Structure 1
Amino acid sequence: MDASVNTEKDAHPYLLELPMELHLRIRNDVRRDLDTSIEKQRQLRLVCKTLDTVWSPIVNANLVLSPGGPDTVAQFRYLVEGKGKAYLSPYTTLTIKGVRSARTSDIAQAKDHVTSLPDKLDLPNVLCGRLLYDHKDNNWSIDLCTKILLSLEQLTELELSICEATDVQLLVRRLEPLTGLQKLTLLPSKATPSQVRSIASFIARNKNLTHLIYDWKTTQPFDLTELFREVPPLKLEHLTLNSSCKTFNAVATHTKSLASFEFRASERNTWCTAFTRAKIFPPTLTVNALDSAFVTYVAAHPRIVHLTATSGSVSLDALPDSIHYPSLFKRLVQHCEWLKYLLVNTEVLPIMLHTPEERMGFVRCVINLDEIILMNDKTLDEYPNPEAIIQDVRLVLSLYVDNY
């Protein structure tokens, strides 16, 4: 038998004959592999046309426009002259940052290309736009960035990061035609009260908002009444607030359809009392802090399905020796019939599970879970024998469940 024939036969790429459904399953498994970086995933696109089709939606999801690098002119020419259009369809997110900071020897040419982007950029599948301002931008930059965003016909999501020098009032005026957003994310930024008040009119114009993530931080707690005063009732499905907010009852008219809530604060859950009085009880909760106010809210809540508590410590007013402390798991046990997801930090378990009653409450909470995540701020490298520790945790959980 001819050896060359065998070689050609053995080299046949049988992988490419797999149905697309199997390719997608393989892709999902590869994405979960911690040893496979995004750089390695990008390389898979280069293997063949089939794998390019499979992996492009993953590795080409976010297009970043960030002038200032050595390839600035080439990047903009590639986009403006249309040579890259065939490869732009997978992108679903467009990130724009620092367009005024193009510091290259060809800065004039770069600006010409940038100015043409609103008319020439062809991104038919971009749903999310991200504007990142980390310095004071001139009017030309704000005008251009907003024109690019307004050229995206399918845009339903906006993420905005600012600095204290950003002219938010001008930005909001330029974005006036944008009224069809469903998700608005105000990324972690230091903001002034006037900047927050300026964004209020933008929220009011987008009456179809279902997701609002507010993570701007002012030096003093900002009254949410000022943010929502002119906003017609929204049908929010998700809401994120932070410790820079106060007067939480101002969101009550917008939470009739609320399915999930996140509060970003490391020390106190200042929202709980207002939410309890307004009967705002979303089934999915995410908190950074554990304190007696949150535990009391859990006790008043009729039905918690997903709970994420990332705190690695318990606030002083919630220590077991305090007469004001009700155990989290004693209260959470009333939700065990519905609770399907629980994430807690292992650092708090010695405090939360210091009595047999509390440990049994924990077991009752996890018995019907679809997923439990025990997180820790440490890495496995910090443990002398991580494999043994993992086995011990599995054994303890197994014993708890079996005994129950």
Structure 2
Amino acid sequence: MITLDPITLSVTLALVFVISVLVLFIFWRINQTQPGVLHWTLGGFLFAMAFWVVFLATLLDAPWNLGPFLSNSMSLPAVLFTIEGCLRFRGYHSSRRWRQMLLAMPVLVLIAWLNKDDPQARLLFHDAASAIGMCMAGLILCWKTSDRYELQANSLAACSAILGGMAFVIRWQYAFLAPEVDTRPMYVPANQVLFFGLIVFTMGWTYGLGVACYFRSNRQVMQLAREDVLTGLPNRRCIDENLGKTLMESRRSKAPFAVMLIDINAFKQVNDKHGHSAGDALLAGIARRLERAIRGSDFAGRLGGDEFVVIARGIESDEMTPDSEPGVRFNEFLQRLRDELNGPMQVRGHAMDIVVSIGVAFWPEDGDSSDAMLSRADTLMYRDKARTTAAEPSFSHAFQAPS
């Protein structure tokens, strides 16, 4: 095995960890709402302290078992902080789990103390626990990501964590196979390989977390730009993009679709009588009903105010296309939509009888542009509003004929 200068490796590793802690601290200060970054920072700080302790103990010629004991007492909790940071970053929050981890930390310190006079037992326990923990952190970052882009963003940090775990496995194998372990841990060749591997891990881990945090922040900004904050539905910008995309696809494939404009009757009276908070709650409730009513292939968004838009792909004026529910007439589909949206709703302790008006424009009969179809659907929606009553909501495609 190639022998590397242990003092240089130790100092380099400690300095790299210090830089990593500073970078993670800056990440946390920039966006303190980003979950997990604070735990990564604390874990990195403990890792840095662990290797500074090893260096100082060797430099000061301290008792042979003091440096490893202090180092293990810091690095094992650091692994727990790293795992908790990954879990929180991925959205797995649990106060109970975090309390259990905090209770486990003094237990790990106690085990390190009990094994301080047995180098082989100490390395076997410490390296096995560290390897499992680091590999778990890497797997958590890649577990059930929302899409391949998030997987790619998390992959550098995940691979670096697994690499760090493999470095611990190398030293664990050495401790398991070696009948006698050198009592000078800084001069054990496997230790030097471990330190070199951890230098690579720390650099990749820090850069990888930076990429993952940037991707998460950028996606959140993009989501806010395309999502209606009140209802959680796509906003006007996203509606325009989706409608434009649907138009281009239909022109190419000749597949029909319909644009539905939905308006809540007497919504202004709700705001005037019960306040804007009740109106906001009503809009959110209608959004949930709308999500339940549409098919998986449809698109729903909030246009603004009390108006919602549904883009129903593969739907013609006469009947549904074969790839949807066979034999269901369009008017039956529309009535089912009304049945889901209309009806009693409890809003902030007030019972309300909800009635909506709907206007429908079909491609290509009612227009070949986004503005034309929305304008046509808006006109027909106001005609329907004039006809719609709480007792007898009505709508038919025949009513769409130009007057």
Q: TM-score band, normalised by the shorter chain?
A: under 0.3
Task: Give the number of the structure whose residues are more often helix, by fraction.
Answer: 2
More RCO (CA 8 Å, sep 6+): 2
State TM-score, norm by structure 2. Answer: 0.23
Name the larger-Rg structure.
Answer: 2
